[in-house]
Every structure is written in C-alpha cells, then in structure tokens.
Structure 1
Amino acid sequence: MAHVADADIDSSVGQPSQVTLKTAFTVCFAVLAVAVFAVLIVKTEAALILTGLAALFAMALDHLVSLLVQRARFRRSSAISVVLAAVLIVLTALALIVVPAAITQGEALAREAPELIEKVRTSRFFQLVDQRFNVLEQLQRKDQNPAELASGALPPLLDAVTGAFSLVGAIITVVFLMVFMLIFGPGLVQRVLAQALPERRPRYERVLDKMYSATGGYLSGLTLICSINALLTSTCLALLGMPFFLPLGIASGFSSLVPYAGPIVAGGFVTLLTLATAGVWKALLVFVYFVLYGVTEGNVLAPLVFRRTVHVNPLLTLFAVVFFGELAGIIGAVMAVPLMATAQIILRELLLIRREKLGDRVPVP
C-alpha cells in the first residue's frame, strides 16, 4: 500500500500544472481591465451622469417621435422637429405663466428668510422641542444666531457664479446630447445589431425593446407623480393661505423625483415654513397633509405606477433608491428605478439563456 501511495504521489508531482501561462495572463488582464474601468468611471462621473440624463430624455421624447412616424406618417426628421418645437412651446408657456409668479414668491421668501427663522426659533412649539432635544445647542456656532448661521452657510459669490455657469453648461450639454441621440441614435443601434449573429439578433432586439419600453414608462410615470404632487401641494397651501404656495408646491413636486424620501424631506421643510408664517394649527394641517400624501405616494401611487411601467418590485425599488442615492446622490436616486429595471431585464434574459442551454425550453415572457 505504501508503494502504491508513493507511486500516486510521484505521478501527481510529475503532472504538468493546470494553470497555464495563458490562463494567468488572462486573469491578470481581466483584473487590470476592471481596475481601469473603475478608475474611468470615477474620473468621468460628471460626463456619465450628463450622458445618462440625456439618454433618459431622448428615450422619453423618442416615444413621441415614433408615434408621429407610425401614426401620422411623418418623416423622422420632421417628427423630431415637431416634438422639440412642442416641448419648447410648453416650456415657454410655463415660463410665461408660472415662472414669474414663482420667482416673485421665491424672492419674497428669500427676503423674509431671516425673519422666518427667527419666528420659528421663538415659537412655543420650537421652544418645547428645543428644551427636550437641545436643537439650538447643536445648530448654533459660537456667537451666532440661527439667522446668522443661515447667512454664513451661503456660498461665496464667486462660487455661486461658477456654479451658475456650470449649470448652464450642463443644461446645454444635455440638450445637445439629447438632440444628437434622437437623430443618430436609432441608426447607430441598428448598425451595432447588424454585427450580431443572425440567430442571436432577435434576442438582442427584444432586450433593447424591453429596456426602451421600461425607461419610457418610468419617465411617464414619474412625470405623472411629480405633477400630482405639485398640483395637490400648491392647492393645499393656497387654501390654507400660505403666501409662498407656488414655489413650495413646485419644489414639493420636484421632490417626488426621489421616491419615498423626497416628499418626506419636502414636507418637513414646508411644515416649518408654515409654522413660521401661519401658526401652529395650520402647520399641523400641513403636517397631516404631507403625512397622508407621503403614505399614499410611497405605498400606493409610486409602487403602482412603477410596477405598471417598469415592472420592478416595490421592495427592489426602495433598495435601488437607497443604494444609488448613496452612490451618486440625488442624481443616483432619480436614475435608480430605470437602472434597476434594466438590470432586471438583462438578468431575466441571462437566466433564460441558461435554462435553454440546460435543455429546459421555456416560452419567452
């Protein structure tokens, strides 16, 4: 037995290694490629975010372009021109009707901000909260009152101007990318698909079509939710006699861009302003409204709309918002749902391919 064992050991020692030089080189190259890709993502984060936003807007408008091409028999170039002109007209109308009043109320809100902060600080409700939780002690700096703290927190003028120019540049970049995607995107996709094997091309087309439909459905659902939020909040604040109901309602509508968390933050801010301008009872009514609306949007409206449009489980939606919000801030939270929908579509196709390879032929969902 000992001779047999020694012979087995000698034979195993004499066998060549299963790890070849080619395998080791491939593994090292893969690790290096992943590292380079990660560094590239970190270095080009802003460009990737702008490109992603442009792609979302382009896919949303492309649904309207396709509708004009298929139903009204427009040429694609003419359909793109009509859609862009319609969007410009709508934005101009909103700018002429809503924006002036919103700017006027917003400027009044900015002028009265120190006084409102002081009213909140001296209100009985805030004093009761401060006695229990020492809010002022945690917020105040040395020899600064809340109004001075708010003023000192404002960025310098140079940073504000630089940020404004950066914002304008980002908007122009997104618009140009969106237009170029609308014009040249479909042709580029078709040329890429033409390089695929004929037997695999239908699968790729099906995946891209699902991703396209999911993204368009998400954007339409998100637009609906934001509009409902802005309309209901503006109406509620106007009925309560709030002097700044229009900018606050619009801000509340934009807060729905971040599912679940956005309306909660907006509700807290608006409740504090109502406390400073209209008293405790109206602030309590605003608080009750935002609680009811937040529960309705988070548990009924948003899951229903997202599930009907992008077919993502509400629990996965919440996980995606938390994860991508931590990863990329507000932009990540906004793009979380379409990214999760895309990942879910790709994962389903990969599982379908695996089942087909194992011989379990299943119909395509």
Structure 2
Amino acid sequence: MFSVFGRWYRRKFSDPDAAMLLVLILISSALLLLWGNMLMPVIVAAVIAYLLDWPVTQLKRVGVGRPLAVALVLICFVMVMVMLTVGLVPVITKQSVSLAQELPVIWQNAQTWLLTLPDKYPEYVQFSHIYEMMEGANQRLVDFGEQALSASLGSITSVAALLIYFILVPLMVFFMLKDKLYFTESISRILPKERRLITQVGNEMNTQIANYIRGKAIEIIIVGAISCITFVIMDLRYAMLLGVLVGLSVLIPYIGAAVVTIPVAVVAMFQWGITPQFWYLMVAYGVIQALDGNLLVPILFSEAVSLHPLYIIIAVLFFGGLWGFWGVFFAIPLATLVKAVVTAWSSTPPPPEIINS
C-alpha cells in the first residue's frame, strides 16, 4: 500500500514545477483560512478590479492613457452604484418591511389551509400530523426571528467596517487598475523559478475569473431587470424585491433558482390563490429561468471550462461552507481551478526512474 502511494507521489510531485504548484496552493489556502476575514476588502477590490479591467482596456485601445481611463471608469462605476443605491434600495427596503409585516398573515392563512387537509384526505392526512408539523414550524420561526433580531443588533457595530469598505475599496481598485503591470511583475518576482505549471494554471485562471465575473455581473443585471419588469407588468406585489432576489439567485447555480422560487410562488399564491393569474406568473417565471439557463448562460460563459452540474453543486456546497457568500460566488472559478490543477498534474511527465520501474 505504501509503495503504491510512494510511486504515485514520485510520479506526480517529483517534478519541481509540480511541487512548487502544490506548495503555492497550500500557502494560499492557509492564508485564506486564517486571515480570510481580514483580507476580505482586498478580495472585494480585486473582484471589482476584474470587473472594470475590460472597459479600461477598451479605452486604452482608443488612445486614452491608463490613469485617465481608470479614473473615468471608476467614476462612472461609483455614479452607477450611487444611482442604484438611491433609486433601488429605498424601494426594496420598503417592500421588505411590508413583506415582513405581512408574513404572519401569510403563515396564518397557510395554517388554515393545512387544517383543511385532514377533512379532504382523511386516509392520507391526520390532524395530529398537521399539529406536530405546525408546532415544529412555529418553533423554527421563533428561533429564526431571534437570530434575525440579534443579527440586526450586531450589524449596528459593523457601520465602521462598512465605511472602511466605502473608502478603502475604491482606493484599492484604483491602484490595482492603474498599476496592474507593476503588481503582476512584483508577484512574478516573488514566485520561484520552477513555475511552469504555476504560470500555466495562472494564465488559464486569470482568463476564467475575469470572464466569469463580467459574465455573472451582466447575468444578474439582465435576469433581475427582466424579472422586475415582468412582475410589475403582471401586478405582483413586492415586484422589485422579488425581481432583485431572482437576479441575485443566479449567483448560486441550480440551487439559487430552486430556493427563490419559493417566495415568488408564496407571494403569488397569497395574492391570487390557485387561479389562472397565479399560473400565468409561474409560467412567465419558468420562461425567464429557461431562457437564462439555455440562452443567456451559454452566450455569456461560452469560454468557460465545462463542468458537470454535480461538480458545480458540490463546489457551491463546499466553498460556500468555507467562505460564505464569496465561496458561493467563486464556486465555479474555484472548481475550474481544481480541474486546471488536476489537468496540469496529470500532464506532468513522470521521471525516467518511475517509467523504468
């Protein structure tokens, strides 16, 4: 057993380039696990820098200097964010408060409907089962309310951290974009000389992450805007809030669409009941999801490395459990990184002594 493992280890890691790639992965993982929360503003700035690098590059191609291009793009980005914050956040906040106030009524109606099931289907449903289920659900709702209250009180102390994000992150984005060549050369000097596989994986992942961030941002905007317009036209209550939730759900492949379907269906059922209007809305929502999965995603992510849906779901669960929101956001690039690393190691030729043995 140990001899088999030893031969496998020598075959994969006897190459100095493969060993250096392994050491770099271990060091990077340790840094993220130990100081991930401390480095979060840097990670956020890097994500925004990836998002804005493309328009900066396009301005450079038409003759605009890089510092001026970076300043123009960053000013436009900040203006768009301020406009969205001023125009969208108050509406979403108001609808969120209204929905939270109406949730007890929705839950009361749901309980009334559940209590009618034993009369309709006495051979399948009993009152004792319904009461047990409602008691468990009520207890979970109480626990969730306590957690939400404690989280809201704890968020008051994070105002200073939010101010740090508003001040430091734009500064870091500006310097990352303006001095991109300087930072890449500095990182290159730090890396060891045995970096053939590191360079191979790094070049592949640099393209993948940039394409993924830009594509995901465009997908969120398109899906969210179409959902908001559709819900407003169909006169669904809390249309803006639910449309934004649908747009953000694309961050979590497969799982997000399934989860956000629940509030959309619950609000529509509470508003209209099981009527043709309810089914029209659900059909429109299904069309949006189908167009997103079968048309928009292939167009935006045509250059992405294909991954099996099972691998994507596993990556979402694993990296989301490690790093929360950002783990979910980068689940596909991280899964692609794992695939690129495995491919690089698999392509490493074994040393002659291993072949001869």
TM tier relative to shorter chain: 0.7 to 0.9
2:83 counterpart of 1:88: no
2:232 counterpart of 1:238: yes
In structure 2, do the counterparts of structure 1 residues 139 and 193 end up closer, same or farther at CA, with 3 Å as the change threshold? same
Alignment of 1:95-106 (within 5 A): 95-106=85-96
Alignment of 1:102-113 (within 5 A): 102-113=92-103
**Preserved CA contact (<8 Å) 2:215 2:301:** no
In structure 2, do the counterparts of structure 1 residues 149 and 37 end up closer, same or farther at CA, with 3 Å as the change threshold? closer
**Preserved CA contact (<8 Å) 2:46 2:176:** yes
In structure 2, do the counterparts of structure 1 residues 152 and 280 end up closer, same or farther at CA, with 3 Å as the change threshold? farther
What's 1:272 paired with? 266
**Preserved CA contact (<8 Å) 2:71 2:174:** no
d(CA) in 2 for partners of 1:62, 1:126: 57
C-alpha offsets along residues 115-158 of structure 1, whole Å, 9 cap, x if unaligned? 33334433x368549957634132123xx9x6x67654531453
d(CA) in 1 for partners of 2:316, 2:338: 14
d(CA) in 2 for partners of 1:87, 1:257: 21
2:62 counterpart of 1:62: no
C-alpha offsets along residues 203-260 of structure 1, whole Å, 9 cap, x if unaligned? 8666544322211211122123212321232233223311210111012111111111
d(CA) in 1 for partners of 2:100, 2:174: 36
Rg (Cα) greater in structure = 1
C-alpha offsets along residues 267-308 of structure 1, whole Å, 9 cap, x if unaligned? 11221122223323244444444445445545x247625751
**Preserved CA contact (<8 Å) 1:258 1:333:** yes
What's 2:11 paired with? none
CA RMSD of aligned residues (A): 3.9
2:305 counterpart of 1:311: yes
What's 1:12 paired with? none
Larger RCO (alpha carbons 8 Å, 6+ apart): 2
Q: TM-score, structure 2 length as denominator?
A: 0.73
**Preserved CA contact (<8 Å) 2:50 2:213:** no
**Preserved CA contact (<8 Å) 1:68 1:74:** yes
Q: How far off its partner does 1:265 sit?
A: 0.8
* Number of residue-to-residue matches in the alignment: 318
2:146 counterpart of 1:139: no
Q: TM-score, structure 1 length as denominator?
A: 0.71
> Which amino acid in structure 2 is aligned with residue 214 of structure 1?
Q
What's 1:343 paired with? 338
What's 1:327 paired with? 322
> Which amino acid in structure 2 is aligned with residue 44 of structure 1?
W
Determine which of 219, 225, 231 is the counterpart of 1:225: 219
Q: Secondary structure at the match of 2:149?
A: coil
